Amino acid sequence: MSLIVRVFSLMLLLLCSYSWAVNSVKGVRIWHAPDNTRLVLDLANAPSHKVKRLSNPTRLEIELAGVSSLNIGAVTGDSPLVKSVYASRTPSAATAVVIELSFPVSDSIFSLPPSPPYGHRLVVDLKAQGAAVSSAKPAPVVSQPAQPATSSRVTGRDIIIAIDAGHGGQDPGAVGPKGTHEKIITQSVSRQLAAMINQQPGLKAVLTRTGDYYIHPNKRPEIARQKQADLLISIHADAVQNRKAHGASVWVLSMRRATTEVGRMLEQTEQHSELLGGVAEVIKDSANERYLAQTVLDLSMNHSMVTGFEVAKEVLREMSTVAHLHKKEPQAASLAVLKAPDIPSILVETGFISNYNEERLLKDPNHQHKLALAIFRAVKGYFEKSPPADSLFAAHKNNGRSVPASQNRAVTVISSTNRTHKVKRGDSLSRVAKQYGVSMTALRRHNNLKSDNILIGQVLRIP
């Protein structure tokens, strides 16, 4: 090794260690989700940190090596868990970022490498212990005022549509050439779609996220399942290198991924009771339980995939009237948000945010409204043709009438003399009987039950 090379290497080494040693905080972002808060420190270089948990006042002191300035840039966002964020000096004269908390919380702190549009980050996840703290609004639910019944009284349950606004929080999704974040578009279209759905008697929307925060893609179908959704619609905007690519497309779960997920659910025996409801408690023989779980899953997977595909076709048909289509047929993919084999799921790519023209369109509230309306029409149209048996849509279909518009909503309220109960996880016949203050015999007779076994999703008429 020549002397010049050696000197150069030494300089490089010094330069590298120098850049590690000198760091700075460029800003702090706070995201509050219903059950946790994420703080992100944006840093010039990879952080090296030490954490102290202090009381009086309750706070986290994160000492950052190599940071000399007390300037932490702008703090954006807020959370009921966080009182304030500021920089201070530790007794050893090191710089620390202090997060003052409203009360003691559990924390998890880790660094993330650069990932455009973000650079080096230190992530602080905070979770309230015990009681959940939430400032985020719950998913909008349309209230059902009790009104005197009229001659057109038709009853049935609401069809529940889970709407998933793609990305959120520290995950902006794709970023357009003018800097538009996909998460903003998805949230806006999702909100408008939810509002339209909630205006329609017989349909009810639930949102997987109600604000700008991050939810892991795997968690999104779980939320839909908890809300007993009949359909999951995930809203996104596409991006590719080729700026010319444009148009909308709709994705469905691929057969291969569905089969894998069925296998995975079967391996998790604790999920069987969730799938089988009260039956799992009756069947003590695990071989039989597995067989039954397999049958239920196969049936529901077939149903989900057929429904997903049909809804996807309707959405494409409606979207073709308001937007260019990138793909005219539903596309199959193995995507985390579509993985639920038991919930019909589709993913709508509303357009290419990477295309100049479509970035402008996607940002336009008018165009967003058109997109939401197209999806709403498709969903309504599909369920008018193929409603779940116990739904209001089915009741109207059987009466040979279409479901009335929103102002008639009060008319469709389930009256107290015609109650139904959809069997949830953990329900047993005796529990349902107790819940409504009726006898099990009456419940059995009223529903023509030959045994006390009930299945999740089954609708019981309450005498």
Smallest gap from Cβ 348 to Zn ion, in A, equals: 10
Contact residues for 9 (Cβ-Cβ < 8 A; gap 6+): 1
* Nearest-angstrom CA–CA distance, 204 and 144: 11
Smallest gap from Cβ 350 to Zn ion, in A, equals: 10
Binding part of the chain for Zn ion, among 141-149, 236-244, 261-269, 272-280 by CB under 5 A, reads 236-244
Binding part of the chain for Zn ion, among 121-129, 160-168, 331-339, 373-381 by CB under 5 A, reads 160-168
Looking at beta carbons only, is 44 or 335 nearer to Zn ion?
A: 335
Looking at beta carbons only, is 168 or 173 nearer to Zn ion?
A: 173
Looking at beta carbons only, is 166 or 330 nearer to Zn ion?
A: 166
Looking at beta carbons only, is 156 or 172 nearer to Zn ion?
A: 172
Smallest gap from Cβ 236 to Zn ion, in A, equals: 4
Check residue 351 for interaction with Zn ion (CB under 5 A): no
* Residue 91 tokens, joined: 């007794």
Smallest gap from Cβ 234 to Zn ion, in A, equals: 8
Dihedral, 106, 112, 118, 122 alpha carbons, nearest 10: 40
Nearest Cα to Cα of residue 280 among 266, 270, 295:
270
8 A C-beta contact, residue 261 and residue 340:
yes
Give the count of residues interacting with Zn ion (CB under 5 A). Answer: 3
Looking at beta carbons only, is 120 or 183 nearer to Zn ion?
A: 183
Smallest gap from Cβ 53 to Zn ion, in A, equals: 36
Looking at beta carbons only, is 236 or 272 nearer to Zn ion?
A: 236
Smallest gap from Cβ 144 to Zn ion, in A, equals: 34
Binding part of the chain for Zn ion, among 57-65, 76-84, 166-174, 402-410 by CB under 5 A, reads 166-174
The string over 301-338, giving b where at least 16 C-beta atoms fall within 10 Å of a residue's C-beta and e elsewhere, is beebbebbbbbbbbbbebbeebbebbeeebebeebebb
Quick one: the chain helix, strand, coil %, rounded to 5? 35, 25, 40
* Nearest-angstrom CA–CA distance, 98 and 80: 16
Q: Which positions from 110 to 149 touch Zn ion by CB under 5 A, shown as an x/- string?
A: ----------------------------------------
- Kindly report the CA angle at 332 between 383 and 188, in degrees rounded to 5? 60
* Nearest-angstrom CA–CA distance, 232 and 78: 30
Check residue 236 for interaction with Zn ion (CB under 5 A): yes
Smallest gap from Cβ 336 to Zn ion, in A, equals: 11
Among 47, 156, 173, 341, interactor with Zn ion by CB under 5 A = 173
Contact residues for 129 (Cβ-Cβ < 8 A; gap 6+): 104, 105, 106
Check residue 166 for interaction with Zn ion (CB under 5 A): yes
First CA to last CA across the chain, in angstroms?
92
* Nearest-angstrom CA–CA distance, 112 and 118: 10
Smallest gap from Cβ 210 to Zn ion, in A, equals: 18
Binding site for Zn ion (CB under 5 A): 166, 173, 236
